[in-house]
Amino acid sequence: MTKKLSLGPVPKSEFVKLTLTVSTELRENLDLYAALHSELNGTPVDATTLAPLMLETFIARDKGFRAARTRRASPSGETARLLDKAG
């Protein structure tokens, strides 16, 4: 039996709705992960609740993304220029 998963308890947070389409296999794995998470943490939780936390954790641990985000937020104001172009 698994004793620990990468995700801990689900924090309370504000959310916005984002619709995703996933494969049947991924949905099954998300449901299984949610069931294991519920068992280990003693709190019922479903895959749609865990998916945003999984994505947040993935992004937080991605060293390449952190480096790119830091470069874009450089004092040169590059982020502001990129946002102006996108908006």
Alpha helices in 1-87 (DSSP H): 24-41, 47-61, 63-72, 78-86
pLDDT value at residue 46: 94
* 18-28 residue pLDDT tens: 899 999 999 99
pLDDT value at residue 2: 65
pTM: 0.66
Q: How many residues does the chain have?
A: 87
* 54-77 residue pLDDT tens: 999 999 999 999 888 888 877 665
Whole-angstrom CA distances from 49 to 13, 28, 82 are 11, 15, 31
- The whole-angstrom separation of Cα 66 and Cα 81 is 19
